[in-house]
Amino acid sequence: MTDRLAEISARLDTVRQLGTVVGAMRGMAAARAQQSRNLLPAIRTYAQVAADAMAQALALVPDRAAGPAGASGPPGLVAFCGEQGFAGAFTERVLERLGQQAGGALLFLIGTRGVARAAERGLPAAWSAPMASHVDGLPRLARRLGEALYAAIRDRGLSRIDIILPDWGQDRGLQVETRALLPLDHRRFHGRPAAQPPLVNLPPRQLVEGFAEEYVHALLQEAVAIAFAAENEARVAAMASARSNIERMLAELGTEERQIRQDSITAEVIELAGAARGTAAPR
């Protein structure tokens, strides 16, 4: 009985330590998710400014069309997977969507864990990068991704580029959607006429190209921030579930420990009572 009590006490200590680790991971993930969400209003304002500027530049192009002529190369597909574990089915959900859409596409994968799991599924990355570990690294990641995409457009003639983007909602949990990135449909930038024609020092088409790059960069910034927040929010949910299991285990082990202690005390009382009766018995 003493050995069993020592074993349960040791397990209680281990589970309590695990609970401390889980709590710390949950707190860190929640903080990172909130930091990333806080970036989104500024990113979206930046995207809107670039879109408005592009609309004004397009108004200066006399023979503007729906957009540049499409290339004849393979499509490109960007997917934001998990960087680390302990995030539930986050990576698996993204890879399920990737498997449905990857046929013939050049894959650009973000997230170390996701890249490895994609390779196991026969979905090798043409380009990959780890997800940023902190929000300060998100702009650099978006810039690297943009450079890789434009290099592939130049070298491989990508016909289009889509993004598989995981997002997290408080009520709906993890959702995985596909967003079109390129080519841009110039018609979406109409309807924003300027009060008066802007003064420009560059050819209108060159302005359009420059503003288009700025707009695409803003979209990539937004996607990176959303995916970073989503992975961390998925981790928060996973850690909350783990915490519930830990609390249940602590309750069960605590009940068992108390029962063993009570049984031990009862056995000692019975033993002492028996010894007392033996001592008091007449000879």
- Lowest mean pLDDT: which of 130-134, 167-171, 231-235, 268-272? 268-272
Pairing of strands 161-169, 76-80: parallel
Residue 66 has pLDDT above 50, yes or no: no
Residue 4 has pLDDT above 90, yes or no: no
Pairing of strands 161-169, 173-182: antiparallel
**pLDDT computed for residue 195 by the predictor:** 60
**pLDDT computed for residue 1 by the predictor:** 59
DSSP per-residue string spanning 118-171: HHHTT---SEEEPPPSSGGGHHHHHHHHHHHHHHHHHHH--S-EEEEEEEEETT
Res. 23 pLDDT band, cuts 50 70 90: confident
Residue 32 has pLDDT above 80, yes or no: yes
Residue 129 has φ and ψ, to the nearest 5°, of -155, 150
Select from 247, 250, 75, 61 the least CA-distant residue to 161. Answer: 75
Q: Are 195 and 103 in contact (CB under 8 A)?
A: no
**pLDDT computed for residue 262 by the predictor:** 76
pLDDT, tens only, 183-228: 887 777 765 555 666 666 777 778 888 888 999 999 999 999 999 9
Instruction: Count how many residues are written for the chain.
Output: 283
Mean residue pLDDT across the chain: 83
Residue 139 has pLDDT above 90, yes or no: yes
**pLDDT computed for residue 75 by the predictor:** 92
Alpha carbons 172 and 121: distance in angstroms, whole number: 27
**pLDDT computed for residue 279 by the predictor:** 64
First to last CA, the chain: 35
**pLDDT computed for residue 191 by the predictor:** 55
Average pLDDT over residues 137-152: 94
pLDDT, tens only, 219-268: 999 999 999 999 999 888 888 877 777 778 777 777 777 777 776 777 66
**pLDDT computed for residue 245 by the predictor:** 77
Could you tell me the sign of the dihedral formed by the alpha carbons of 123, 128, 133, 139, in that order?
negative
- Omega before 198 within 30 of 0, i.e. cis: no
Residue 8 has pLDDT above 80, yes or no: no
Amino acid at 123: L
Amino acid at 155: D
- Residue that wins the pLDDT comparison between 67 and 246: 246
Residue 6 has pLDDT above 80, yes or no: no
**pLDDT computed for residue 207 by the predictor:** 81
Strand order, beta sheet including 76-80: 127-129, 106-110, 76-80, 161-169, 173-182
Residue 177 burial (10 A CB sphere; 0-12, 13-18, 19+): exposed
CA distances from 30 to 24, 134, 136, 150 (A): 10, 12, 16, 34
Average pLDDT over residues 151-164: 91
The matching CATH number, chosen from 3.40.1380.10, 3.40.50.150, 3.40.640.10, 2.70.98.10, for 24-186+202-238 is 3.40.1380.10
**pLDDT computed for residue 163 by the predictor:** 95
pLDDT, tens only, 94-123: 999 999 988 888 999 999 999 999 999 999
- Residue that wins the pLDDT comparison between 7 and 139: 139
∠ CA 202-205-206, nearest 5°, is 50
